[in-house]
Structure 1
Amino acid sequence: MLKLDNISVYYGAIHALKGISVEVKEGEIVTLIGANGAGKSTTLRTISGLLKPRAGQILFEGKNIAGLPAQDIVKMGISQVPEGRRIFANMTVLENLELGAYTRKDSAGIAADLEKVFARFPRLAERRSQIAGTLSGGEQQMLAIGRALMSRPRLLLLDEPSMGLAPLLVKEIFAIIKEINASGTTILLVEQNAHMALSIAHQAYVLETGRITLAGKAADLAQSEAVRKAYLGG
């Protein structure tokens, strides 16, 4: 479904991604793990059109999308849940969700998808008229995921969904990610919590300073001594 082929990205003179190649097959959860500053968020921002690669191709369902405007990439079926949630804090829960569907014109479909989001996240249904900035961190993460789902993505990019959440909420968010995948959405997950990410992913890549150093089945990487030492606390 998605293929990054030898992607290089720069921030000014800084070479952030150094020729990385990643594949995401339809129906899978693929995770990118690595330390802070390894290039994980940069990878997602490049796929979603917020950054332009200086070299390489990004193929989504066979079409090269590298350098396309972000809104066109959303229309093609890729949606991102950004790091730090980035909800619209001064707007209501409902308004945030409606903005997630801004590329769509099918009002009946949008209404149906709103109800699906509220069924998946009952706490958002209870707070639909509440100002989003007053939600708890976990509720804001649910809102950010719900907003991304409103564009009906076939590929969902998740950037650090567990960041800043209590352990119980982390479990809840990961259960929701598995459920979204089971209902037919392919997922590319960037996550500091390597243990949780590897427990739900099919395939995994380890990024270190802009390069992929390991790749394989998530279950195999979870057993790898190098990965355990570096990311799983021994």
Structure 2
Amino acid sequence: MMLELKDLHVYYGAIHALQGISLKVEEGEIVTLIGANGAGKSTTLNTISGLNRVQNGSIIFNGKDITRMSPPDIVKLGICQVPEGRRIFPNMTVLENLELGAYLRSDKEGIKKDLEDVYRRFPRLLERKGQLAGTLSGGEQQMLAIGRALMSRPRLLLMDEPSMGLAPIIVKDIFNIIKEINQSGTTILLVEQNARMALSIAHRGYVLETGRITLEGPAKELADNPQVQKAYLGG
């Protein structure tokens, strides 16, 4: 078991955002969280990353309790997040953004190799490495956000709405890249509004509704579930 959330409770002021969430991610999996806006999906990822304070419950990563750890220490352990809305640094170049992804590393040869791997995976970033990140298209910015996260050499990659605001043809490319990253050995926890696309590449999934998990199971079973189809797949 790579990641386990146990009875997690998180509040935003008086709002009980996560109401006893428990989930597991095994090494090598893509696990997806689906649900409506405000269900608690992004809150779950931000809590794993150490950005939200946990009121009750625990987060275990590779047998280590990380519930109270700081975000930089969580990144050092091998968890990195591709945030919703990409949050690249627009006034820095593509290369500078990628180098920032490795800011906690000191292995120069390893960083150089990982940069080459990012450029191999995203040739467009190599073409635009000297360009200001803010001038990239939405799809290119998403590639940059993923590439920047990969520069931290994550064991677990948290992805928050990678298809948001992208044209359908670009969404297909991004999901093919997510599959390839997983097949290369990175475990992925994916939050995605496009439930059909997410379930098509995931091994397992969880359905969140107003801070609670209401369904879980193999991705194909969830995709075939009439309740899920009606609520999230337009069926």
- Aligned residue number for residue 169 of structure 2: 168
- Residue identity in the other structure for 2:178: I
> Cα distance, 1:18 vs. partner?
0.1
CA distance in 2 between partners of 1:70 and 1:230 (Å): 34
Deviation at 1:189, TM superposition (A): 0.1
What letter corresponds to residue 10 of structure 1 in structure 2? Y
Distance in 1 separating the partners of 2:118 and 2:211? 35
Contact 1:93/1:128, CA 8 A, preserved across alignment = yes
The residue number in structure 2 matching 1:203 is 204
| Amino-acid identity (%) | 75
Aligned to 1:96: 97
Q: What CA distance in whole angstroms lies between the structure 2 residues aligned with 1:103 and 1:67?
A: 20
For residue 82 of structure 2, what is the aligned residue in structure 1?
81
Task: Give me the TM-score of the superposition, normalised by structure 1.
Answer: 1.00
- Does 2:58 align with 1:57? yes
Q: Is the Cα contact below 8 Å between 1:29 and 1:188 reproduced in 2?
A: yes
CA deviations 1:157-179 (Å, max 9, x no partner) are 00000000000000000000000
SS of aligned partner of 2:10? strand
Partner of 2:224: 223
8 Å CA contact retained: 1:51, 1:67: no
Task: Give CA deviations for 1:4-33 in whole Å, capped at 9, x if unaligned.
Answer: 000000001100000000100000000000
Match of 1:144 in 2: 145
- Distance in 1 between residues matched to 2:53 and 2:108, nearest whole Å: 33
- Counterpart position of 2:129: 128
Where 2:28 maps in the other structure, the secondary structure is coil
Aligned residues: 234
- Within 2, Cα distance between the matches of 1:96 and 1:124? 11
CA–CA distance in 2 between the matches of 1:98 and 1:67? 27
State how far apart, in whole Å, the 1-side matches of 2:180 and 2:68 are. Answer: 31
Q: 1:212 — aligned with what?
A: 213
Q: Post-superposition shift, 1:52?
A: 1.4
Q: Which runs of 5+ in 2 are unaligned?
A: none
Partner of 2:28: 27
Q: Give the secondary structure class of the aligned counterpart of 1:53.
A: coil
| Equivalent AA in structure 2 for residue 108 of structure 1 | E
Give, in angstroms, the shift of residue 2 of structure 1. Answer: 0.1
For residue 31 of structure 1, what is the amino acid of its counterpart? T
2:188 alignment partner in structure 1: 187
The alignment partner of 2:188 has SS state of strand
Determine whether 1:41 maps to 2:42: yes
Aligned to 1:7: 8
Deviation at 1:67, TM superposition (A): 2.0
Instruction: Please tell me the residue identity of whatever aligns with 1:109.
Output: G
The Cα offsets for residues 125-171 of structure 1, whole Å up to 9 and x where unpaired, read as 00000000000000000000000000000000000000000000000
User: Helix, strand or coil for the counterpart of 1:173?
Assistant: helix
Is residue 160–residue 191 contact of structure 1 (8 Å, CA) maintained in 2? yes
Residue pair 1:204, 1:216 contacting (<8 A) in 2 also: yes
CA shift for structure 1 position 227: 0.0
Structure 1 stretches lacking a partner, 5+ long: none
State the distance in 2 between where 1:41 and 1:128 align. Answer: 30
Cα distance in 2, alignment partners of residues 114 and 150 from structure 1: 7
Deviations along 1:68-117, whole A, 9 cap, x unmatched? Answer: 10000000000000000000011000000000000100011101100100
- How far apart in 2 are the matches of 1:92 and 1:63? 36
